[in-house]
A and B are shown apart, each in its own frame.
Chain A
Amino acid sequence: MKDQWTDRLSEYLDDELAAPERTTLEAHLASCDGCRTTLDELRRVVTNARALDDRPPTADLWPAVAARIGLASRARPVVRRFSFTVPQLAAASVVLALLSAGAAWLIVRRATISTPPVVISGPAPVLLNASAYPGDVRFDAQVADLERAVARGRGRLDTATVRVIERNLRIIDRAIRSAQSALAADPANSYLNLHLAQEMRRKLELLRQAATLAGARS
């Protein structure tokens, strides 16, 4: 059954009728079974629509998307599963134990050799002794300069990028502090020296990228 109000029922349902029309329609609904039934059905249609589940495509579209945006070559390599027999695993464990023992002996032996601090001048330090870092004037000056550049252009970066940069800087700073504390106990450890130099380089590189992104440096 259809009357003059039937075509207004969706607007009523969506609360889009003006107050006088709404009042009149509600009065009509009180006396019209047909409109009440239709309104209830329309309400169920809306409920059904909002309860529909999203379904993924039957085939994975990612490989095609990745190919179209030039990421196909970076697709994850196929993981191969290897299996070993018990004798093979036992032999491998013996070899690993021997290698570990040899590496430990080499580190201890080198730590006992007195090595004067070596500072290599140039754009990036390669291997430095710990004593050079806590108050490394050149590194500190570079960091301060880059941090000022980033701060000047910070307004040009979106908040998400700033969050990512700050999170990565915190991670790098933690690594630098850890390496410095370890070096305080073992100043001649070449691995720790190299690790510290790498982390410091990484911090400078990240700050340079951030400054470039912010457009604050020429």
Chain B
Amino acid sequence: MELTTPGVATLRRDPDQRALGDAETADAALAASGDGRAFERLYRAHVARVHSLVRRMIGPDHADDIAQDVFVRAWTKLATFRGEAAFGTWLHRLAVNVILARRTTLGTERGRYDDSADILDDVAGRPAAPELSMDFEEAIGQLPDGARRVFVLHDIEGYRHDEIADMLGIVPGTSKSQLHHARMALRRHLER
């Protein structure tokens, strides 16, 4: 992985992905013309990634519902997929949009984009023993919403700060600040 060249299309690419790309583009074209089996193949190939993204961004409680929403939306929007980017990249961006649209209706805002580090101290300042036993994924889930979303989008999914700022309606400086606070809080949950 490269630290200096984020971007979802590059971070998650492995050698087999290019070979799969053509098949997925063809499946997307078939699905756009109503082929349910082609769409099921796309679903099977991407459900783990979409579900993980939803779980990390929103939490586990509504992950199944929102992941379903993502694929339903993808089905209705297939005609807009032009094959210019990989299908996975297109689906991923659509998933982020669905998640962000759902965040307010779910009322999961917790300290939204609070720049102060106080709220993060709760995550960073837990007693030693529970910290060590806490799963890294679980620790991400404990972050305040703003810091968690920026951390997931930047460090896990590979988006740049300017892209994140556009998606979340914040300035890039806030995105950088939230990312740093999230990383500082998560240091305590590293395996020793």
Q: Chain A: residues with CB nearer than 8 A to chain B?
A: 7, 9-11, 13-16, 38, 41-42, 44-50, 52, 54-57, 59, 61-62, 64-66, 68-69, 71, 74, 158-161, 163-164
Contact = CB atoms under 8 A, between A and B. Distances in A.
Chain B interface, >50% SS class: helix
B48 A49 contact: no
Nearest to B137: A52
B156 A49 contact: yes
A69 B72 CA distance: 6
B47 to A, nearest CB: 6
A57 B29 contact: no
Given A42-B187, A55-B51, A10 B179 contact: yes
B91 interface: no
A65 B26 contact: no
Contacts of A57: 47, 51, 63-64, 67
Contacts of B30: 164
A159 B52 contact: no
A65 B4 CA distance: 38
Given A45-B155, A66-B40, A164-B30, 20 more contacts: A10-B183, A14-B6, A38-B184, A38-B187, A45-B187, A48-B186, A48-B190, A49-B155, A49-B156, A50-B11, A52-B137, A54-B51, A55-B51, A56-B48, A57-B64, A62-B47, A158-B82, A159-B83, A160-B25, A161-B29
A38, A46, A65, A159: which has the most chain B beta carbons within 10 Å?
A65
B190 A44 contact: yes
Interface residues of B, number: 49
Contacts of B110: none
Given A10-B179, A56-B51, A71-B36, A50 B156 contact: yes
Interface of B: 1, 3-4, 6, 11, 22, 25-26, 28-30, 33, 36, 39-40, 43-44, 47-49, 51-52, 55, 63-64, 67-68, 71-72, 75-76, 82-83, 136-137, 140, 151, 155-156, 161, 176-177, 179-180, 183-184, 186-187, 190
Contact of A45 (B26, B75, B161, B190): B190
Contacts of B137: 52
A3 B68 CA distance: 46
